[in-house]
Structure 1
Amino acid sequence: MDRLSIVLIFMTGPALVGGLLILVLSLGYYNWQPIAAAIAIGLILTWPAAYAVSRWIKRDDPGWRSRSGKTDSKPDDSVDFPET
């Protein structure tokens, strides 16, 4: 697992859960089922969102280097960097 994504979980989690909860309440659903569903969906999407943000940060950071041993001769978005 990517260490940066672990740190980003603590930022993306509250943002996703809070945003979905605000969306559900603003649509007028005040029962516990829609609120619980919004919280569950937010928690499920937290790690993939943090992982995507982590990859985005690492891809755009000129100081971050790949430790996979591959040369950086051509940028390829399909190349998965090692979990560092």
Structure 2
Amino acid sequence: MATGTLQVSGNPTAAGVYIDDVLRGIPPLTITGIPQAVHTVEGDKEGYQRYLAQISILGGNHNSIEYHPLTLPIAIKAPFLHFSGH
């Protein structure tokens, strides 16, 4: 079966990179031996937007993606206020 290569770069560098739901490592990362087909690529790190893409890997080709997610907003809870009426 023909295979290709995927190079993943970007920030945050500690984000997990998954191909078809299998963790393949953290960027910067070069993944070789990927079967020729359409694959789902996901980047995930707590506190950042999840990256999700479909990529076509062709035999003998070198593909690359850059992962630059935005940080997620921090939820700020207002302090609990208790009023007692008289």
TM range (shorter): under 0.3
Which structure's residues are more often strand, by fraction? 2
Q: Which has the higher contact order (CA 8 A, sep 6+)?
A: 1
Give 1 or 2 for the bigger CA radius of gyration.
Answer: 2
More helix by share: 1
Calculate the TM-score normalised by the size of structure 2. Answer: 0.20
